[in-house]
Amino acid sequence: MALGDQNLPGDQDGETFKGSENESDFPYGCYECPKGSNTCGKGTWFNTESSGQGNLKARPYCVRSSLDLEQPESGIIFVGDSDVDYWRESSSVTFPGSFNYGIAGYTCQQVQKDLLDLLKVVKGVKFIVLVCGENDLTNNSPSVTFKRFRKVYQKARRKNIRVLMMGTKPEPDTGNLHGKYRKYDNRLRRLAQKEAEKNLKDGPPFIFVDVYKAFKSLNNPRSLYAQDGLHLSAEGYAYWNTWVQNAHDNALCDDNDDYYHKDTCNCYLWKKMTCTKKIEVEG
């Protein structure tokens, strides 16, 4: 599992997780093998063998009967590339009890390879806030990138998890890619509509926040971005936090939530705080 977990200290985290095993020669539960060990493989392991014994180099740090190590209190996890990775601090404030598993440089292809392993460990996930595709588009077509994204989405849906997707950004320093960005976003919009129409009773399973058009409507100031002209600044993330909270809370259709509005309960396409596409449900 390469998707990072900020909740474990040192090397005992998701980036070094090597998998589960059933070995009597190693400690029961979670243990770490440090760098330089010649008796066990470097990384974090989970041993299901209850009679497992000590090993000179292996360092146990939890004893559990299963690998259900964590569960987000809010039911929300953030997954994706650097835009998610660098979102950790403010996203945890906006969504207390959420987990962030972003990895800088990740593509949709890498996310889909890791997602099932992640969901074996993290239970109770109801929403994935997803950002991926821009890194894929550097060397791939919108069609290939979308196919990679679909694999991520399908894996989430098999677990009955809804996906809230942040679209591409019109970054100042990637103008040569903006045509690809727009084509990719168009495919995501069409998928959002198709999936909403198939799931009238349960609400849209795929919700798309149109970041590209939203930032353009704000005149896309440089202040939305970090100094590198690629990643978001605190100002940019402030918009994202507000837009994600609005889209998420409306999707819950909770009459007691301040962000909820009955007429946007079935919204699947958002531009800033405005619902631009929704499914009309009778009754």
Predicted TM-score of the model (pTM): 0.77
Give the pLDDT score at 60. Answer: 53
Read off the pLDDT of each residue in 5-9 and give the average, rounded to a whole number. Answer: 45
Average pLDDT, the chain: 84
Query: Lowest mean pLDDT: which of 10-14, 178-182, 210-214, 232-236?
Result: 10-14
Answer whether residue 232 shows pLDDT above 70.
Answer: yes
With pLDDT > 70 as the criterion, what percentage of the chain qualifies? 73
With pLDDT > 90 as the criterion, what percentage of the chain qualifies? 61
Give the pLDDT score at 71. Answer: 84
Give the pLDDT score at 188. Answer: 98
**Which is more confident, 81 or 69?**
81
Read off the pLDDT band of 264 (50, 70, 90): confident
**CA dist., res. 33 & res. 195, Å (int):** 44
Answer whether residue 66 shows pLDDT above 50.
Answer: no
> For residues 71 and 122, is the Cβ–Cβ distance under 8 A?
yes
Q: Nearest-CA neighbor of 122 among 97, 149, 89?
A: 97
Q: Are strands 43-47 and 17-21 parallel, antiparallel or unpaired?
A: parallel
164-205 confidence digits (pLDDT tens): 999 999 999 999 999 999 999 999 999 999 999 998 888 899
Give the pLDDT score at 140. Answer: 98
103-132 confidence digits (pLDDT tens): 999 999 999 999 988 998 899 999 999 999
**Which is more confident, 6 or 198?**
198
Contacts of the segment 57-62: beta carbons below 8 A, 24+ positions apart: 57/33, 58/26, 58/27, 58/31, 58/32, 58/33, 59/31, 59/32, 59/33, 59/34, 60/27, 60/28, 60/29, 60/30, 60/31, 61/12, 61/30, 61/31, 61/32, 62/29, 62/30
139-160 confidence digits (pLDDT tens): 999 999 999 999 999 999 999 9
Read off the pLDDT band of 21 (50, 70, 90): confident
